[in-house]
Every structure is written in structure tokens, then in C-alpha cells.
Amino acid sequence: MEFTSLGKHCYLCKQKDYLPIKCSYCHKYFCKEHFTPDDHNCNDKLDNKKKIATKIKFRDKCCVCKVKLSHIHCHRCKICNKKTCIKHIFHDDHKNSK
């Protein structure tokens, strides 16, 4: 009994691998020798993802500790409408701040 449908061929060396690893950047399958982005020259896409990640804007600051907040990590209190970080998310933690 042959299992020809199992596994995938490595995109780089064409070796059949029964536990191939899919690159999260180029979405191609690789063997254990070529699965890291450095091993199969996927650095261009890796650099683009890093550039996108650095474009996050930090517009607001926590009203208590003044740490910069991105739109992802910012919380607005439903009671007093102040912007806080995760540490000061409860109203009792920031009610005396300016």
C-alpha cells in the first residue's frame, strides 16, 4: 500500500517531506532544512512585515502612568471617559488622575 498523497515536496530542494512546514510569510511548504525565512530567502517579505509593524501610531497616553498607547492597547473608561493602559483599566485605579 503506497501513500503517495501524503506529505508535500519542499519548494526549495523538492525532497518529499511527510511533515512539511508552511512558511507564514510566503505560504510555501518546506522541509526541516529550509523552513526558516533565512533558509529560503524570505527576508524581503519579513522586512515588509517589520515595516508595517513599526507604522503603529501612538497618539494617546495613559492618564495615570503616561505610557504611550496605541489604538490597540488603549482603553476608554465608561464612567469618566479617560484613556488608560491595561494596568489602570478599573475606575478605582485612575479616578484621582487628571
pLDDT confidence of residue 38: 78
pLDDT confidence of residue 43: 67
Contacts of 31 (CB under 8 A, 6+ apart): 10, 12, 13, 15, 17, 20, 21
By C-alpha distance, which of 19, 75, 13 is closest to 40?
Answer: 13
63 and 94 Cβ atoms separated by less than 8 Å: yes
pLDDT confidence of residue 3: 66
| Ranges of residues in the chain whose predicted pLDDT is under 50 | none
pLDDT confidence of residue 47: 58
pLDDT confidence of residue 50: 55
